[in-house]
Amino acid sequence: MSGIYARRIAVVAASAALAATTGLLTAPTAQAAMPTPIAASTARSYLSQLTVAAEGSSSGYSRDKFPHWITQSGSCDTREVVLKRDGTGVAQNSSCSATSGSWYSQYDGATWSAASDLDIDHMVPLAEAWRSGASSWSTAQRQSFANDLTRPQLIAVTDNVNQSKGDQDPAEWLPSRTAYRCTYARAWVHVKHYYGLKVDSAEKSALQSVLNGC
């Protein structure tokens, strides 16, 4: 798998200028600062490059095989970093826990003032990644995937919305807030392409449909 990461570096660098020109849709209040995904045109190109295959088995899968949330700096773990990043006016205590702030959930348009109402969603769910190629990765590679702050893989959203998404792909679940679906599809393809993950045929069709309307 290490070769995949090496090959992706040049691709990601080459698309940086395109990605920089495509911002997230403006939310009514706080705007999540998830890394900006690739442009829709790039996403359509990347999607055509992904290997299409029937989804693999969940046999052997465990969230423990994707260690998270790891310490990022000081006493702050990945969840706390994303909560700070995606919120407005976020205050943290000495242990890095968010004690106040405002969060706008891009998936459903809800605004929250308590961190306990937010989950950090893995754009490409861990179980979905396992079934589309991550089962063959090392634990270190899975840990990097589960805590990736560089790609558009982590975002703070309403907890029960994240739970309703579960490990479903875009053929089975899309954000109820339709204005965000284009960004969602761009991010999904961005992550899958970077990590060399496969897509199934229904998933690819759903992504094509969304991206064609971007």
Question: CA–CA separation, 176 vs 162, rounded Å?
Answer: 11
pTM across the whole model:
0.84
Angle at the Cα of 142 from the Cα atoms of 171 and 73, rounded to 5 degrees: 115
Q: Residues of 85-105 as b/e, b for ≥16 C-beta within 10 angstroms?
A: bbbeebebeeebebeebebbb
137, two tokens: 């990765």
pLDDT tens figures, 3-39: 443 333 333 333 333 333 333 333 334 344 899 999 9
φ, ψ for residue 213, nearest 5 deg: -100, 5
What does the pLDDT look like over 115-170, one tens digit per residue? 999 999 999 999 999 999 999 999 999 999 999 999 999 999 999 999 999 999 99
Reported as a single tens digit per residue, the pLDDT across 187-202 is 999 999 999 999 999 9
Residue listed under structure tokens 């969940």 = 58
